Structure 1
Amino acid sequence: MALTLTRPSWAMIRRAVFGDTSLIVWQMVFQNLLRIVSSMVLTRLLSADDFAVVGVITSVLVTVALVSDIGVGAFIVRDERTVERRFRDEVWTLRLARGIILSVLTAVFAGPLANFMEKPALAPVIAVAGLTSLIDGLGSLAPIVALRSRKVRKLIGIDVGAQILGLAISIGLAAVIGSYWAIILSNLISQALGVVFSYVLYDDSSQRWRLSMQRSAELWRFSRFITGSTILTLAITQGDKLILSRLLPLDVLGLYVIAGGLAMAPMALVSGYAGRILYPLLAEVRREAPETLAWRFYHDRMVPTLLYAFAAGGLIGFGPSLIVLLYDPRYTGAGAYLQIMAIAPFFMMGNYAANEVMIALGHPRFTFTVNVVRLIYLLVAGWLGWTFLGVIGIVWAVGTVEVVAQLYGWIALRRQAILDLRYEMLFLLVGGAGLSVGAAADFVIRHVLKIA
């Protein structure tokens, strides 16, 4: 008897393959393919020293951005007045003022910062790269408004196009310039194109300068814990590179940066899903049907979380062979770093989900306190690791920081009557299965290629 699919079955397949959550997954797969292609090409055009410089500059820029984060995205998505043009203009003005101030301060302190890292030649690079703050501030808020309206398909389509264009620009400049300046300049050009896209490709995207002290005070009341949290995030996510830039030569630091980039590859799915799907959904549920929030928290993210857990676990097990397959022998040493650093992304899907539901419930303080937990752990574990194991001990501290964040998140979810340990254990078991499969594949490839 032939198997036929009914219309409901086709509808289910279409939702499974082309639904918003699935599109985020497809975007993550595509982004990581682009990341791999970019990394394979650029590592052949540039040196490990160049990647070390880019890693240090990126840490500086992320530091500047996090220290001054005012939570514009979360503020716009959550607020009922987003439909009002004046309200959006006032928020946009605050973001632009922040960008101007940050670019100026980055240029002013570029020299002292480069001297602190004992790399004075990087001062002009830091100053030029600091223009990203200004460019970011010039962009329209229309993409954030589209996110609030859950126009995920449009956002993904524009993002993918911009990423392809950015890849072409970076490879072209690397072939011509042949130094870290290629990546720095390509990032600036890509970001400037993103600003143009934010006005041209979205409806009702124009912005006007409207300075409002009342809106400034209101935004600060909303984002003060977010701002404090992002300052802590700065120390957590960038402190390792700033510290290791003083402890390691550039070629070894370059291996660490490459490994870190691959380890964070799954974050394309985590940040995209949490920010574009989960948070708008939970905010809507909190407004319209709060009694279903606990059930929706697990039900709506079940499939993507299981898939993510398996893939992230596989990355831990397969990490060393991945380096061997992607890069030439100069970069083999990055394999040991990758396997350790991939532990943190394994736990990030659950940790991001806990953060989004707590903010949707009106508890932005959670973001701050969980980062305090992370920072305390890094300080203690990092010091112990350095004392007994040296540099690799610091890497272990960085790789395992999300474990303690997971435990703290479970405590917070239990207090809100949301935690269900049956699902949490299922996620960990599926991740363990992925790790086993990845480790088995790593063993086979090392045996076939005769790698020690």
Structure 2
Amino acid sequence: MLDFGGNQFLRLVSNLLLTRLLFPEAFGLMAMVQVFITGFQMFSDAGVQASIIQNCRGDEKSFLDTAWTVQILRGVVLWLLTWLVAGPVSTLYGLPALAEMLPWMGLTLFLQGFTPTAVHTASRHLLLGRVTAIDLCAFSFQILAACILSWMLNSVWALVIAANVGVLATLVAQWVYLPAARNRLRLEGEALSSLFHFGKYIFLGSAAGFVVAQGDRAILGLYVPMSELGVFHIAFSMAVIPRNVASSLQNKVVFPLYRLRPFSESAANRTEIFRARRIQAGTMVLTSLFLAAIGPWLIDLLYDDRYLAAGPMITVFALSLVPYITLSMTGPMLLAMGDSRRALVAQLLTAVLQTGLLFVGIAAFGVVGAILAPGLAAIAAYPLRAAFARRYDAWDPVQDLGMTALGLAGAAAICVWHWEQVAGLLP
């Protein structure tokens, strides 16, 4: 919570400063660049971190060195791919600036390939203090660089340069300050086979995850001007804080807990994990509803008139985020059980449903359709996720059904309360 809360506080401060130094189109451009950078990351995810956390050899030097080598090779390939697609992407969106911005943002992917495996072993053993301190300090340095460069350049390139500075600062701090942050190039056959066997489904699942996490901006960018996409990005960044906290807690705490406290060992483990999941989901749903209630006033207080439409967008986002938060526990559980194949199937179904809903929703309801599509897809894919959870005695109807229904009722009431502003988003 300190890691993510500190990160979001710094991000908010950064947005408040940068929206006064730059222009809405700059945030729209960066949103599009980040969509493709994140897409490359997710489309090529070999499950290195998940493998290190889950695998019984996750503390062995030869296994870790092999994972680190695979990570570096992936970073090199991704950087080359950004150069290859930059031209076609800029033509598709009619934005010549993307042709130059994508390769330079792709440099961050190359640098991230050198992240020491000590970061992943810290997650494996829930030793997150020093990693959190490094992340927050490096991000603070990145924000400072972005503000100074934006003031000097008055250009979106300030954000591109600052992103590379931030990744480089993080990398240096990890190698200097993390214990046992020492890797060397190695490809051990058995370790490579284990990584491939576990990661092959994660690779495809992450590709589907890209559609789930980034599809709204990728598709919306085809329909609206960059200034409107920039406003959407401001609303998105604030509204999804609860979702991102939930995701962070799942990856850094709940996922390792499945390994440390497996369901199969005792009924007490099952009860403890259900309690942890309910506390996490319930807290994040309440946070999402709170943001929805104050969204229009918050944007009016913090931003200038160019960004006022972001307020009611935050309100509508609650309808989509509640089911995403409450119904998203199956994936980490399946990966912890080593069942990456079913995790892939669930993610693929969600991605297909969401893509169809995005095209239909944006065409019919504009930005509101883009906001609601992910939540509707999560609900539509739930029966399959519930069936998979029951296989491992991990289905929790109290959270899945009860908490979702209460959360959606609260979100709907808040939308009615702010209806005059929400209606202004409809075409």
- Secondary structure at the aligned position of 1:248 is classed as coil
Equivalent residue number for residue 323 of structure 2: 347
How far apart, in 2, do the equivalents of 1:398 and 1:319 lie? Answer: 20
1:190-243 alpha-carbon deviations (Å, 9 max, x no partner):
111111122111111111111345433321210111111111122233233222
Equivalent residue number for residue 152 of structure 1: 128
How far apart, in 1, do the equivalents of 2:290 and 2:181 lie? Answer: 42
Equivalent residue number for residue 21 of structure 1: none
Paired AA for residue 168 in structure 1: L
Aligned ranges 1:128-167 → 2 under 5 Å: 128-167=104-143
How far apart, in 2, do the equivalents of 1:317 and 1:356 lie? Answer: 30
- Secondary structure at the aligned position of 1:139 is classed as coil
- The alpha-carbon deviation at position 365 of structure 1 amounts to 2.1
Equivalent residue number for residue 303 of structure 1: 279
Aligned ranges 1:224-263 → 2 under 5 Å: 224-263=200-239
TM-score by length of 2: 0.90
Aligned ranges 1:282-361 → 2 under 5 Å: 282-286=258-262, 289=265, 291-361=267-337
How far apart, in 1, do the equivalents of 2:389 and 2:243 lie? Answer: 22
Aligned-residue Cα RMSD (Å) equals: 2.6
- The alpha-carbon deviation at position 282 of structure 1 amounts to 1.0
1:318-363 alpha-carbon deviations (Å, 9 max, x no partner):
3333322221111112233333334333333334432222222222
- Does residue 48 of structure 1 match 2:16? no
- Does residue 265 of structure 1 match 2:241? yes
Equivalent residue number for residue 113 of structure 1: 89
1:276-321 alpha-carbon deviations (Å, 9 max, x no partner):
1111111111298355443232123333332212111222333333
- The alpha-carbon deviation at position 396 of structure 1 amounts to 2.8
Determine if contact 1:314/1:438 at 8 Å carries over to the other structure.
no
How far apart, in 1, do the equivalents of 2:226 and 2:73 lie? Answer: 35
Paired AA for residue 409 in structure 1: R
TM-score by length of 1: 0.85
Relative distance call for 1:104 and 1:270 in structure 2 (3 A) is: same
- The alpha-carbon deviation at position 262 of structure 1 amounts to 1.5
- Secondary structure at the aligned position of 1:235 is classed as helix
Paired AA for residue 397 in structure 1: A
Equivalent residue number for residue 345 of structure 2: 369
Determine if contact 1:314/1:436 at 8 Å carries over to the other structure.
no
1:17-38 alpha-carbon deviations (Å, 9 max, x no partner):
xxxxxxx2x4433333222211
Determine if contact 1:342/1:399 at 8 Å carries over to the other structure.
no
- For these two proteins, the number of residue pairs brought into alignment is 421
- Does residue 193 of structure 1 match 2:151? no
Equivalent residue number for residue 151 of structure 2: 175
- Secondary structure at the aligned position of 1:81 is classed as coil
Determine if contact 1:320/1:335 at 8 Å carries over to the other structure.
yes
How far apart, in 2, do the equivalents of 1:437 and 1:246 lie? Answer: 32
- The alpha-carbon deviation at position 244 of structure 1 amounts to 2.3
- The alpha-carbon deviation at position 407 of structure 1 amounts to 4.5
Q: Which moved more, 1:322-331 or 1:419-428?
A: 419-428
Relative distance call for 1:219 and 1:353 in structure 2 (3 A) is: same
Q: Which moved more, 1:367-376 or 1:39-48?
A: 367-376
- Secondary structure at the aligned position of 1:349 is classed as helix
Determine if contact 2:115/2:171 at 8 Å carries over to the other structure.
yes
- Secondary structure at the aligned position of 2:57 is classed as helix
Equivalent residue number for residue 254 of structure 2: 278
Determine if contact 1:38/1:167 at 8 Å carries over to the other structure.
yes
Structure 1 unaligned spans of 5+: 1-23, 447-452
Relative distance call for 1:427 and 1:224 in structure 2 (3 A) is: same
Relative distance call for 1:90 and 1:420 in structure 2 (3 A) is: closer
